[in-house]
Amino acid sequence: MNLHRLVLLLSIAACSWAGSARAQLPVTPAPDHAALLSSPDPRLEQNKRLVYDFWREVFEAGHLELADKYMTEDYLQHNPNVPTGRAAFVEFFGRFKKPGPIQPKVSAPLVSITADGDLVVLAFVRQLPDPKDPAKKYTTTWFDMFRIANGKIAEHWDPAEKQP
């Protein structure tokens, strides 16, 4: 009998908690990128730095001439809108990305950098219009994952969907 009461009380508490936990918490960027880049494992720290610097210099600043410094020639791309291969990446982004100043920090609102084995994941704040009220915005998280091979980015994944 006591076990049944305990289960009932826990069920009521869980329902109460679930009801109050439905409001979304906004996704917020991390203020200290240096802390995100550190790791007790030097190889993981090196992989994080490689991806971070690639993002700043090549992707954000548009210095596509630096792609060979960061990417393998046979780079694999899993985003359905971007062709695979380093040369194809450079050609694709070269159509609309022009070189600009390289910033000391990633400009996009970075939430975290996670490294495990040969994988590095960048997580960013993404702000979108609320489908229930387009005048309002909400935040969610965008992820980019990279595989490192021999000190260069060899593969990339993200949650992108095909664009018209």
**Which pTM does this prediction carry?**
0.84
Is residue 164 situated within a structural domain? no
CATH code of 105's domain = 3.10.450.50
Give the rounded distance of the alpha carbon of 107 from its chain centre: 13
Q: Is residue 4 part of a domain?
A: no
Q: Is 5 part of any domain?
A: no
- As for how many domains the chain has, the answer is 1
**Backbone phi and psi for residue 143, each to the nearest 5 degrees, phi listed first:** -120, 140
CB count in 10 Å sphere of residue 158? 19
Per-residue pLDDT of the chain (164 residues; tens, 9 = 90+): 454 453 444 444 444 444 445 558 999 999 999 999 999 999 999 999 999 999 999 999 999 999 999 999 999 999 999 999 999 999 999 999 999 999 999 999 999 999 999 999 999 999 999 999 989 999 999 999 999 999 999 999 999 999 88
In a domain, residue 37? The reply is yes
70 within some domain: yes
Q: Which domain holds residue 44?
A: 26-157
> What's the one-letter identity of residue 91?
E
